[in-house]
Structure 1
């Protein structure tokens, strides 16, 4: 865990998940009377993977995505032991995580984003100005919710029109911010944040709650849900006529990427702005613009229409 925290720079949430996964693995090994890493064989790792799916160890059966994550944690641990010379072989090298069907991200339309953002700031109160600035920033930059609530005042650079974000593994990236988002941020920083900050102890985070403390991820999620309901978009616990639809902070991230690609942005540029380590992760967004591709084809190809 020290290696993951210090050398890999994983977030506290990821570290907690790895710890839970490896503790379940350790319990499984103890139930098989295995008390040393060198005694673990490939069959043990494979049996654990199957146990995660069925819950045969008395634990909760996991979905394929959770099994995949847990097996990945186990494989990482064995790889570490082998690299450190603690074991002579890596028994997990041939045990692959289950393939998880990747669902296409659900992006909002440009009109739906407009409705959502307008619904966030219903008046000039400190909270409304904060909520509008938060959602404008999420859509303008494609930031993860943890990156947005972790933003500090010194990360903003109005002169260059950019801000600094710290993603997974504390990887730093610079992202441009559009005029709408900057206007919302400036309104919040000038007219709202000082009011909220006066109730706290002077923390550096940009987004504050009504007690002057840093806004939590859960509270930021609630801000989005409230705006989605006001805009008559589908929230997690809503049942509007638009059907079963879930709006999350990642929805705005998906929409950011999808709209950039549909507008002609290069996938490598979008990768950089999203903070993806591999362009393969970014390329999933190209699949959701198929309607745009059909439209371009239909209007551009000389024999596309009869």
Structure 2
């Protein structure tokens, strides 16, 4: 078919159906949603990712409530919350997703009560699906030691940076977002500490061991000056163009180096965090200290690493004991 025929066919083809307009919420529900967003962002200081996830969950809830005839937050009842969660379950979401949506709903109804938008808190009676937490993958101590030696500091500034990044991730258990947010002034070189800003803008001081401190010193004296530009600012770790190193580059880099360690899974930066915690507990650190190091809000989150250690002990027992 020639160009003219194609044009003629297109002219007679049915127009694509317009995308449906977003479902509009009643004004009182829309106002409550906006207030909840401000609460999450400004008062709780949640990350942009968490705010986006919670708002998406609550928006779905409010649209469901509006279709049920609810016009304001005070009309949301426990049966409506349960019917919404049951509907979400039919979409075959994972239990972890449903648990987060239930948590978002409880946070919203509690906020509505505190701000006078509702007279009761029906979310207090909403149960969450039980989520079986998978044990995180970790490196062995030998694999971790091998990984630290993979980047070649003699290869230039990038090699120096990569060695320092790996050492800091494993020494501190920092989240990758915390690592790339570090500034030079966050280092206390005399006391071998680094100041990290974690979830909720909470600060904590984390020890740096001698190998990590040496790697950072080498990066600062021989590597960073070669990459720094007028726009580098105070960032501790820089990308190849002189800007602050970003999370994606760190994930790519860690995965690449892990690929050179025999038997190591592609765990990414968070795998180094898991490994650091597990190795600390295996070495005799107490759970409270590891909680503080990782910046966990509750001890329950940290306790999963005790399960990792127990599982590793059981596996060793079953391999070694003649009557296992």
Question: 2 CA distance for matches of 1:88 and 1:229?
Answer: 56
1:231 maps to 261
1:203 is paired with a residue whose SS is coil
2:194 is paired with a residue whose SS is strand
Question: 2 CA distance for matches of 1:9 and 1:191?
Answer: 37
Mark the structure with the bigger radius of gyration: 2
Q: Is the 8 A contact 1:42 1:94 kept in 2?
A: yes
Question: 2 CA distance for matches of 1:47 and 1:175?
Answer: 45
2:288 maps to 268
2:110 maps to 79
Q: 1:257 aligns with which of 277, 301, 309?
A: 277
Q: 1:66 aligns with which of 83, 94, 97?
A: 97
* 1:3-28, Cα deviation, whole Å (9 max, x unpaired): 12222121222112222222222232
* 1:162-215, Cα deviation, whole Å (9 max, x unpaired): 1101111111111110011111111111111122212x5132221111121111
2:76 maps to 40
Question: 1 CA distance for matches of 2:86 and 2:266?
Answer: 31
* TM-aligned CA deviation for residue 74 of structure 1: 1.3
Question: 1 CA distance for matches of 2:247 and 2:316?
Answer: 39
Q: Which moved more, 1:113-122 or 1:44-53?
A: 113-122
Q: Is the 8 A contact 1:141 1:273 kept in 2?
A: yes
* 1:61-100, Cα deviation, whole Å (9 max, x unpaired): 4211111112111110100001112111112221112110
Q: Is the 8 A contact 2:138 2:271 kept in 1?
A: yes
Q: Is the 8 A contact 2:291 2:299 kept in 1?
A: yes
2:239 maps to 209
Q: 1:118 aligns with which of 132, 149, 158?
A: 149
Matched, 1:21 2:57: yes
Question: 2 CA distance for matches of 1:18 and 1:225?
Answer: 30
In structure 1, stretches of 5+ residues that fail to align are 56-60, 235-244, 298-304
Q: How many residues align?
A: 284
Question: 2 CA distance for matches of 1:121 and 1:62?
Answer: 44
Matched, 1:158 2:178: no
Matched, 1:290 2:310: yes
2:226 maps to 195
Question: 1 CA distance for matches of 2:44 and 2:198?
Answer: 13
1:65 is paired with a residue whose SS is helix
Question: 1 CA distance for matches of 2:259 and 2:153?
Answer: 13
Q: CA RMSD in A?
A: 2.3
Q: Is the 8 A contact 1:120 1:224 kept in 2?
A: no
Question: 1 CA distance for matches of 2:279 and 2:192?
Answer: 20
In structure 2, stretches of 5+ residues that fail to align are 1-36, 318-322
Structure 1 consecutive aligned stretches of length 4 or more whose deviation exceeds 3 Å: 120-123, 291-297
Question: 2 CA distance for matches of 1:187 and 1:194?
Answer: 11
Task: Give the TM-score taking structure 1 as reference length.
Answer: 0.86
2:250 maps to 220
1:81 is paired with a residue whose SS is helix
* TM-aligned CA deviation for residue 271 of structure 1: 1.2
Matched, 1:136 2:180: no
1:248 maps to 268
* TM-aligned CA deviation for residue 32 of structure 1: 2.7
* 1:38-77, Cα deviation, whole Å (9 max, x unpaired): 221111111111222222xxxxx42111111121111101
Q: 2:139 aligns with which of 108, 118, 129?
A: 108
